[in-house]
Amino acid sequence: MIDLKQASINVIKTNQAESGAYVASPTFSQYGYSWLRDGMWIAYSMDCVGEHASATAFHRWVAKTLLRYETQVALVIDKIDQGIELTEADYLPTRFTVDSDLGEEDWPNFQLDGYGAWLWGAVDHCTHHNPQLWAEIRPAIVLTVSYLTALWQSPNYDCWEEFRTEIHIATLGALYGGLQAVMHYDNTIVSPDIVDNIKQYILKNGVADDGHFMKFIDNANVDSSLLWLAVPFGVFDVNDNHFQKTLAKIENDIQSSDGGVYRYQKDTYFGGGEWLLLTCWLAWVYLKLDRVADAHRLITWVEAQATANGDMPEQVANNLLDASYYQGWVDQWGESACPLLWSHAMYLIVVTAMENKAI
């Protein structure tokens, strides 16, 4: 029987470029890039399993990459200060080539969650594994904080690269988590006001009438990315009443009877399948709530979706939300991404947490 933990480590290390970047998937036509969002979780998983040099290389690559676009950030901030309307080309991209270049295809680029997530991950890595790295990457941290401070209330694509004109609650959670982490690590970089303002903004604008957090402002549906609000970004505690209501709605509305978790109710990407990384995320939340048996049940489901050689896909088509969309995506891009490094990363994060909890 294949060791899925070791297989996951091998998949990730094999697909880390010499630059330090991780490709999202080596076999899927659109995923041969490195996303800050995916990459941070991949790097975090490497820290979880003791592969700290891999994580360091990624964070060093991100810092180098972002500083390459320092002039672009300055332009954005200057335009905002002058009241000049920004164009889509002004924003930093959501993904880069492994050599820090921009992608050639037209892509939904203006996404802020990855930048907030990277701040959180960089602080965690420096705090627990490599404090010497902070001085090296600090200029990029400062640059990212200035970028997010200027733009945090702006509508932008969500973490699924959809709904450009909305303000997404999970995105705000990622910004809160990243900025708060930096503030605690180096209080000269981030104003406490912005962290508090983001949390209050969520409470004022992102809570549905029945008390759960919304997918985005004025949309009372839930999205599985709302799990981020508690784990790991800590905007709210896992026992917070709003979060508990959100969790219950996620379990009711977007969890399949077999345990797999969907992105959101009306998802049509590859027919709207169950996502391994989101199922892992729910298991991670369950561990924080001491629902250990529930977490093990979900991880067993995730393991069952792996291929014979241990590769884990992005999503599976066992119980599609709308099967009429499936073939169209396959015809356009091929089968759903497999392996997806983010799926492997979330698996490693949760199984490591399970091992630690058993001690």
Task: Please report which confidence band the pLDDT of residue 104 belongs to, taking 50, 70 and 90 as the band edges.
Answer: confident
Report d(CA 285, CA 274) in Å as an integer.
Answer: 17
Catalytic residues: 158, 161, 314
Task: Please report which confidence band the pLDDT of residue 106 belongs to, taking 50, 70 and 90 as the band edges.
Answer: confident
Q: What is the model's pLDDT at position 337?
A: 97
Q: Tell me phi and psi for residue 245, to 5 degrees.
A: -70, -35
Structure-token match 């599985």, residue found:
224
Is there a domain that residue 357 lies in? no
Is there a domain that residue 112 lies in? yes
Is there a domain that residue 323 lies in? yes
What one-character DSSP code corresponds to residue 219? B
Is there a domain that residue 227 lies in? yes
Task: Please report which confidence band the pLDDT of residue 357 belongs to, taking 50, 70 and 90 as the band edges.
Answer: confident
Q: Tell me phi and psi for residue 271, to 5 degrees.
A: 80, 0
C-alpha 30, offset from chain centre: 17
Is there a domain that residue 281 lies in? yes
Provide the domain count of the chain: 1
| pTM exceeding 0.85 | yes
CATH number of 289's domain: 1.50.10.10
Is there a domain that residue 355 lies in? no
Residue span of the structural domain in which 257 resides: 4-350
Is there a domain that residue 358 lies in? no
Q: What is the mean pLDDT of residues 280-304?
A: 98
Which 3 state secondary structure label does DSSP give 195?
helix
